[in-house]
Chain A
């Protein structure tokens, strides 16, 4: 099996003394892991940083085998070393993508969304809201998308401020009032990009997506949300 594709590096760990195992999100082939010969070398190591755009050439003898790959820089890497929060967001986005998306399942939408998000990490006013929408997109890619089109009770399209933790559907203000303690808050920016961003909205958005990611992705595997995701929420809350 052989292919070449554009990819975003999600993370890498060293393998042996000179090699590395890299996880990437490719444009057309989904998440792939591969052995990189010489991955510990000075030439390759900078490419193995989370968020790097690379040209990924993969080769394996069998489809069920961990193949080998070569990498070449395909674009500028995000320069976020002086942006503590952006750096945390980048690592979190890559870690969540790797943890959430199944391997070898084509997700071009997720690739383009992550690529766009990486370009925004240098803009602290913008990226947190986009990150929340990215997580909602990951849920959708897995088939657990939130239905925010209309109120699950009344069918109304206006004044949607809650989400049902049971169905993942939006609930309007009036219909949700008696159950508001049990419902999740729906921040306006998740309904449309013109929704506006009020104080605390990003954290509410992270609570919303975190709830469904935990329920559908992490809890079935007896895992908690990754530590970095919790740290990101704490950092954005403070």
Chain B
């Protein structure tokens, strides 16, 4: 308790729930916001209200956006014949940051997980199949994590899309030595994959 009043206590309590913030850093953030009310607190409140009012899930790809369909799906310059399948929006943002991909995305909203009981029907898979069925798609790129759950999900999707084999090519992201990576610090599987995928 800071004794600063229930409103400020509530602000601190809510901020402390955000990723990267604990009670102490939430107190510091609250103080910074309160001290710069006009420059930070009020614009932040408005921005958060706007986001809360406008953000929704794109009906085509499932990403979070304030437009529906999202700017990527609605952009005629994007290659609509390619779909990159990602786990969450964070992966999509990473891909967009790189700018190496000019196609569209599909956000699954999770991965199949035996431990957490996440089943195929819990993921955004039906809409992916529907997009493929539309006939425009030529390539599906599996950009899912290189983990047991990620690759199990990728193979499950590939299997589910088997009936479109003659229409759609399914590809997987390469695995190997990261930029700046030293072999000494890499795990055995990464080195083995890097060797297998050598050019």
Q: A87-B151, A94-B114 are in contact. List 13 more A-B contacts (CB 8 A).
A: A10-B115, A11-B114, A11-B115, A46-B189, A50-B149, A79-B189, A81-B151, A81-B189, A84-B152, A88-B155, A92-B114, A95-B114, A227-B114
Contacts of B158 in A (CB 8 A): 84
With A49-B148, A227-B119 known to touch, is A91 a contact of B114 (CB < 8 Å)? yes
Q: How far is the CA of A81 from the CA of B116 in the complex (A)?
A: 20
- Tell me if B192 and A79 are in contact (CB < 8 A): yes
Q: Which residues of A contact B (CB under 8 A)?
A: 10-13, 17, 23, 45-46, 49-51, 73, 76-77, 79-81, 84, 87-88, 90-92, 94-95, 98, 226-228, 231, 235
- Tell me if A228 and B155 are in contact (CB < 8 A): no
Q: How far is the CA of A87 from the CA of B156 in the complex (A)?
A: 10
Contacts of B147 in A (CB 8 A): 45, 49
Query: B182 near A: Cβ within 8 Å?
Result: no
- Tell me if A17 and B148 are in contact (CB < 8 A): no
- Tell me if A81 and B146 are in contact (CB < 8 A): yes
Contacts of B112 in A (CB 8 A): 228
- Tell me if A226 and B155 are in contact (CB < 8 A): no
- Tell me if A17 and B151 are in contact (CB < 8 A): no
Contacts of B152 in A (CB 8 A): 84, 87-88, 91
- Tell me if B159 and A46 are in contact (CB < 8 A): no
> Closest residue of chain A to B19, judged by CB?
A17
Among A12, A17, A81, A95, the most chain B Cβ lie within 10 Å of the Cβ of A81
- Tell me if B20 and A95 are in contact (CB < 8 A): no
Contacts of A76 in B (CB 8 A): 188-189
Contacts of B114 in A (CB 8 A): 11, 91-92, 94-95, 226-228
Q: How far is the CA of A12 from the CA of B115 in the complex (A)?
A: 8
Q: How far is the CA of A151 from the CA of B117 in the complex (A)?
A: 39
Select B115's contact among A13, A77, A80, beta carbons within 8 Å.
A13
Q: Distance (Å) between the CB of A98 and the closest chain B CB? A: 7
Which residues of B146-171 have CB atoms within 8 Å of chain A's CB atoms?
Answer: 146-149, 151-152, 155-156, 158-159
With A87-B152, A88-B155 known to touch, is A77 a contact of B119 (CB < 8 Å)? no
Q: How far is the CA of A51 from the CA of B112 in the complex (A)?
A: 16
With A11-B114, A17-B20, A227-B119 known to touch, is A87 a contact of B155 (CB < 8 Å)? yes
Query: B175 near A: Cβ within 8 Å?
Result: yes
- Tell me if B159 and A98 are in contact (CB < 8 A): no
Which residues of B37-77 have CB atoms within 8 Å of chain A's CB atoms?
Answer: none
- Tell me if A91 and B188 are in contact (CB < 8 A): no
Q: Distance (Å) between the CB of B110 and the closest chain A CB? A: 12
Q: Distance (Å) between the CB of A78 and the closest chain B CB? A: 8
Select B148's contact among A91, A226, A227, beta carbons within 8 Å.
A91
Query: B7 near A: Cβ within 8 Å?
Result: no
Contacts of B119 in A (CB 8 A): 227
Contacts of A84 in B (CB 8 A): 152, 155, 158-159
Contacts of B187 in A (CB 8 A): 46, 73, 77
Q: How far is the CA of A46 from the CA of B189 in the complex (A)?
A: 10
Among A10, A11, A45, the most chain B Cβ lie within 10 Å of the Cβ of A11
